[in-house]
Amino acid sequence: MRRLKKYQSGEAAQYITRRAALRKLQLSLNDFRRLCIIKGVYPREPKHRRRAQKGSSEIKILYHAKDIRFLLHEPIVWTLRDYKIFAKKTGKDRAVKDFRNLKRRLALFPELRIDHIVKERYPTFVDAIKDLDDCLTLLFLFSTFPSLRLIPREQSFLCRRLTIEFLHYIISSKSIRNVFISIKGFYFQADIKGQKVTWIMPHHYPFKPHSKAEVDFKVMSIFVEFYTIMLGFVNYRLYHSAGYTYPPKFRSEIHNDSQDNYKDELSYVSDRIATLNSDLICTENELEDEIENIDLDLLEQGQSSNRIMKLKKEAKELTNLRSLFKGLKFYVNREVPREPIVILIRSFGGKVSWDCTAFVGATYNESDETITHQIVDRPILSKKYISRDYIQPQWVFDCVNKRTLLPTNSYFLGVLLPPHLSPFVDSNRDSYIPPEENESQNESDCNQKKYVEGNTGFSASAKEIIDSHAMDDDQLQKAYIEERADFEEYDRIENEEEQNDDNIPEEQKEKLRHEETLSMSVQAGKVHKENKKIRRKNEIDEHRLQARMVKSRHRTLFRKLVREKQVKEKEKWLLKKKRRNIEAQKMSN
């Protein structure tokens, strides 16, 4: 048997440097980067870097050797090599000014097809939906870009068309569950085929190109190239499952692409929003939307528990959410961000319009007497109608998160708005929790108790006691054995005490009874003041004991956990300090 030499086995044989991978694949760095992004191959961090680099101590980019062997069998590698040949031949034709041959070569430009890679990376439809978060966030970003040097206008228009098609499905299926306004943009979360999908829709600002090349748009455009194919597949499947034709047909012609839209950015965004305000044209044999409702009667037949009560409450909230704005008509002023407002209102059964003289796609005018709410983002309005409520845009977002129509008096014009709380945070987290969130949580807990009492006839505490007794037979048997052992131990100790009491004289027994009577008398209580220094000292001593008990191989992990805990405590303290300063400033004003 041949004896292996050094660095021919183990981690040294499992990893390969990027330079060696380029030589093995015979590709340039840009083509290799493009191939890795499309195939989903990324650099790896070895456990022992020096062994993986065959004794070298410098930092190198390493890949798994099996990933590079996996790339060797990819057909698009030949297409990427054809690009290199194409560039050389066209360059030669330009040099000798053979434009006839150059025109012929340009017509035979090699096409890169990655449909099979999308099917390979996502073997099931649910796998593709699970990976939609980054896809949607990037495509929504690129749909707002103008024509740049590395981003052609055709790519931006493709992102625009795919995102509009996706939003139309979201609106028709009423899939949105949570929304949030932040500095980055508008956060949306939808329930698609049982999977939670979250994406960011950026704010619309006039685009200003960066003075420095801080963002590598070329790498981002490679991701967009893959994600556009992926979202096209997903949209096709979603539309056909809902009974719509794909590509969708809109009732108006505003979705058509034109050179005027390319030049005018304002009309480009305006047409996008107008398209969302139009309905889809369906086929003649349109299928009904399958709304996943939980059979409440079926749940009532089963065993009552907190989990079933929670499911019934969520099902009831979901039913109310789907028709939250049903029967309401909204009018949006020109200063309000229309795109998220239109998506939310139309997703939950409402109707929306705006000034037809400023933007296209309006369905009714401001003078319509059937308008119930007008969304305004300015402190004073010259002309008002008595038949409608004038509210600020935050009311729509808070109603969706609370899943009910909130009172409008807290959102009138010029009124200081209540805090806009994020629905994406954990209510049981260890970090800082604002007092408004605590109040909201307490209110929801009270509503939960009332709901349990109204549906079961028991109080919430009685309900918890009933559920606590619902244990398996094995657990009951184990508890019974432990209880019997405790009773036997108690009887043994009691018998020993009785035997000891028989040996005590009568005078001593009388003295013990008198002392016991005095100890049972009512006495004035004393306030216990906790010494913070002693408590802090005890915490430090306890932490030192914990650190000593940690094994040497786990000390690095222990220090990391302690450091993370200190960072969280510092952030919590800073947020509390910031809140105290805000409250003090309010009191001073």
Please give the Cα distance from 431 to 428 (Å, whole number): 9
pLDDT at 499: 64
Over range 381-398, report the average pLDDT: 89
Crossing angle of the two packed helices 265-276 and 338-347, in degrees rounded to 10: 10
pLDDT at 368: 86
Cβ atoms within 10 Å of 455's Cβ, excluding its own = 16
Please give the Cα distance from 257 to 255 (Å, whole number): 6
pLDDT in tens, 349-383: 899 998 888 777 788 888 888 999 999 988 888 88
Closest CA to 382 of 351, 413, 422, 340: 413
State the pairing for strand pair 185-192/176-181. antiparallel
Class in CATH terms, 313-421: alpha beta
Crossing angle of the two packed helices 265-276 and 153-173, in degrees rounded to 10: 20
Distance of alpha carbon 426 from its chain centroid, rounded? 12
Q: Which residues contact 488 (CB under 8 A, 6 or more apart)?
A: none
pLDDT in tens, 413-429: 888 888 888 888 877 77
Whether residue 458 has pLDDT greater than 50: no
More confident residue, 558 or 436: 558
Backbone angles phi, psi at 425, to 5 degrees: -95, 160
Cβ atoms within 10 Å of 163's Cβ, excluding its own = 22
Whether residue 487 has pLDDT greater than 80: no
Whether residue 295 has pLDDT greater than 70: no
pLDDT at 299: 52
Peptide linkage before 75 cis (omega within 30 of 0): no
- Residue 339, token pair as written in the block: 């795109």
Whether residue 56 has pLDDT greater than 80: yes
Amino acid present at 503: N
Whether residue 5 has pLDDT greater than 60: yes
More confident residue, 269 or 320: 320
Whether residue 200 has pLDDT greater than 50: yes
Please give the Cα distance from 322 to 175 (Å, whole number): 8
Q: What angle do CA 547, 549, 555 make, to 5 degrees?
A: 55
pLDDT at 110: 83
Whether residue 249 has pLDDT greater than 90: no
State the pairing for strand pair 373-375/329-332. parallel
Please give the Cα distance from 167 to 347 (Å, whole number): 9
Percent pLDDT > 90 in the chain is: 23
pLDDT in tens, 99-155: 888 888 888 888 888 889 999 999 999 999 999 999 999 999 988 887 677 778 888
pLDDT at 289: 44
Give the sheet arrangement for strand 195-202, strand by strand. Answer: 176-181, 185-192, 195-202
DSSP 529-552: PP-HHHHHHHHHHHHHHHHHHS-G
pLDDT at 209: 61
- Residue 545, token pair as written in the block: 């004991």
Cβ atoms within 10 Å of 21's Cβ, excluding its own = 21
pLDDT at 490: 66
Percent pLDDT > 70 in the chain is: 80
pLDDT in tens, 180-196: 999 989 999 999 998 99
Query: Which helix (H) or strand (E) covers residue 207, if one does?
Result: none
pLDDT in tens, 501-533: 566 677 777 777 777 777 776 777 777 788 888
Whether residue 470 has pLDDT greater than 60: no
Closest CA to 217 of 147, 154, 150, 160: 150
- Residue 195, token pair as written in the block: 């999977």
DSSP secondary structure code for residue 527 in this structure: P
More confident residue, 295 or 411: 411
Whether residue 285 has pLDDT greater than 80: no
pLDDT at 238: 92
Query: Are the C-beta atoms of residues 391 and 374 closer than 8 Å to each other?
Result: yes
Beta bridge partners of 17: 62
pLDDT band at 17 (very low <50, low <70, confident <90, very high): very high
- Residue 15, token pair as written in the block: 């990893």
Q: What is the mean pLDDT of the chain?
A: 80
Closest CA to 283 of 248, 309, 318: 248
- Residue 88, token pair as written in the block: 């050389």
Burial (CB count within 10 angstroms: exposed 0-12, middle 13-18, buried 19+), residue 506: exposed
* 3-state class (DSSP) for residue 350: coil
pLDDT at 466: 45
More confident residue, 458 or 79: 79
Over range 539-555, report the average pLDDT: 86
Give the 3-state secondary structure of 436-497. HHHHHHHHHHHHHHHHHHHHHCCCHHHHHHHHHCCCCHHHHHHHHHHHHHHHHHHHHHHHHH
